[in-house]
Structure 1
Amino acid sequence: MTNPLNRRMALARSAQVALMLGGLGLLPRAALAAYPTAAFEAKTIADLMKALGAGAPVESKDVTVTAPDIAENGAVVPVGASTSLPGAKRLLLLVEKNPSVLSAAFDVNEFVEPSFTTRVKMGQSSNVLAVALMADGRVLYAQKEVKVTLGGCGG
């Protein structure tokens, strides 16, 4: 059993250290958003590209989107994005007919393989796009139509 006095002293010392670190600005701060708010509010692909400061995307067979042809549950649709090209700096997953077109964004560097999978929510049948933002400024994409059924009744 530990001595309550020792515990109190340790807590007091910890508080002193935290105050000192805070005064020096060495404590972690709240995370800042890595993307502009306008990117999350974009309703169209053109608006999203403008918010990210990127050009118009060009279709490429070097970018791959993976998604089912038919999603029985639009609440959890497995999707993925990847590229075989070197120099990718960000991969995006977009759902064209969602209220906010940007569903996921992944930052990439030379130490990270540009291949990601996740699950997104889809309210209706739509095109799903994998977009690769390249270091040289190119914006490449691949797309696939995903049909969303509601309770197996079609959609």
Structure 2
Amino acid sequence: MTYQTQTGVAIMPVNRREFLKKSVSFGACSVALASGLLKPDPASAEWIAEQFARHKLEETLKTLFKDAKITESDKIDIQIPQIAENGAVVPITVTSRLDGVENISILVEKNPVPLAARFDLSPELELSVSTRLKMAETSDVIVIVQAGNNLYSARQTVKVTIGGCGG
């Protein structure tokens, strides 16, 4: 049963028993939160400064993957615009048909800090990640996927127009 007010807003009547139950529940939660019995889980994101330091692409690859061999793969799909009108916000979606993916790294070759994003994933998941990149100028976007002890890559060139950050 709902009632309509003069302003057109629908309201539901609340009986006394429901009101008391909700008030007691809210009060108990408030006390538990204030006393420290309920604590939010910590965020699991981790910032590794050396990986996101200002380097050339080759130095960043060496920091991330040492001297491991990286193989080109057609099982990595990059969805990114070929022409970016605004280099400050370039959307990218990466999907993969590789099995046992552990992590992916997205690098922008000509950025002062080439590593744009790194995702550590559970191997049981189907790989699909999306983010937005900031690109300083026209450059190759490189995606490196680690599956097991192997590294696979794919790349695509994105042209940043005059209206963006450079070009």
Q: TM-score, normalised by structure 2?
A: 0.68
Q: How many Å separate the matches in 2 of 1:33 and 1:52?
A: 17
Q: How many Å separate the matches in 1 of 2:154 and 2:46?
A: 24
Q: Give the deviation of 1:108 after TM superposition.
A: 1.7
Residue of 61, 75, 100 corresponding to 2:88 = 75
Q: Give the deviation of 1:114 after TM superposition.
A: 0.9
Q: Relative to structure 2, which stretch is displaced further, 93-102 or 26-35? A: 26-35
Q: How many Å separate the matches in 2 of 1:76 and 1:95?
A: 13
The answer to whether the aligner puts 1:51 opposite 2:77 as a matched pair is no
Say which one has the larger Rg. Answer: 2
Once the two structures are aligned, what percentage of the paired residues are identical? 37
Counterpart of 2:161 in structure 1 is 149
Number of residue pairs matched by the alignment: 142
The answer to whether the aligner puts 1:61 opposite 2:69 as a matched pair is no
Q: TM-score, normalised by structure 1?
A: 0.73
Q: How many Å separate the matches in 2 of 1:42 and 1:139?
A: 23
Provide, for residues 101-144 of structure 1, a one-character-per-residue CA deviation record: whole Å limited to 9, x for no partner. Answer: 11111222234221112211111000001110122x21111001
Q: 1:16 to 1:151 in 2, by over 3 A?
A: closer
In structure 1, runs of 5+ residues without a counterpart are 1-9
Q: For 2:51, what is the secondary structure of its paired residue?
A: helix
Residues 100 and 124, structure 2, Cα contact 8 Å, conserved in 1: no
CA RMSD after TM alignment: 3.1
In structure 2, runs of 5+ residues without a counterpart are 1-27
Counterpart of 1:112 in structure 2 is 125
